[in-house]
Amino acid sequence: MIQTEWFVMLSAVLFIMGAMGVLLRRNAILLFMSVELMLNSGNLALVAFARHWNQMDGHLFVFFIMAVAAAEVAVGLALIVAIFRTKQSINIDDLHQMEG
């Protein structure tokens, strides 16, 4: 059986990839995908720990997170479409009207 440490390490790698993607990419879609990556790294960690401790709490959390992520994607994609319609761009660096 694959040791839990691996899962956690994979999860950490995925999370770091996701975080880097969020911080470095400018395309809103890619940004979004990176966020998904980070969420799912979290999911992975939760599932791994659930298996490790033989408890179902982690699974339960994962279901919630997946539901939230699905809703988030729906709203987020709609927002991105709306932004593209007005700005003709999904480069998030173009969206800094809210600067102080």
Q: How far is the CB of 89 from another protein (least distance, A)?
A: 14
For 91, other C-beta atoms within 10 Å of its C-beta total 12
Residues numbered 40-99 forming contacts with another protein, rule: CB under 8 A: 92-93, 95-99
Q: Which residue from 22, 33, 73, 83 is in contact with another protein, where contact means CB under 8 A?
A: 22
- Sequence-distant (6+) residues with CB within 8 A of 4 are 48, 49, 51, 52
35 alpha-carbon distance from chain centroid? 3
Q: Which residue from 23, 54, 85, 88 is in contact with another protein, where contact means CB under 8 A?
A: 23
How does 45-56 read in b/e, with b if 16+ C-beta sit within 10 Å?
bbbbbbeeeeee
Q: Is 16 in the site for another protein (CB under 8 A)?
A: no
Nearer of residues 21 and 58 to another protein, judged by Cβ: 21
Using CA atoms, how far apart are residues 73 and 36, in angstroms rounded to an integer? 9
Q: Which residue from 31, 39, 44, 90 is in contact with another protein, where contact means CB under 8 A?
A: 31
Summarize as ranges the residues that interact with another protein (CB under 8 A): 19, 22-24, 31, 92-93, 95-100
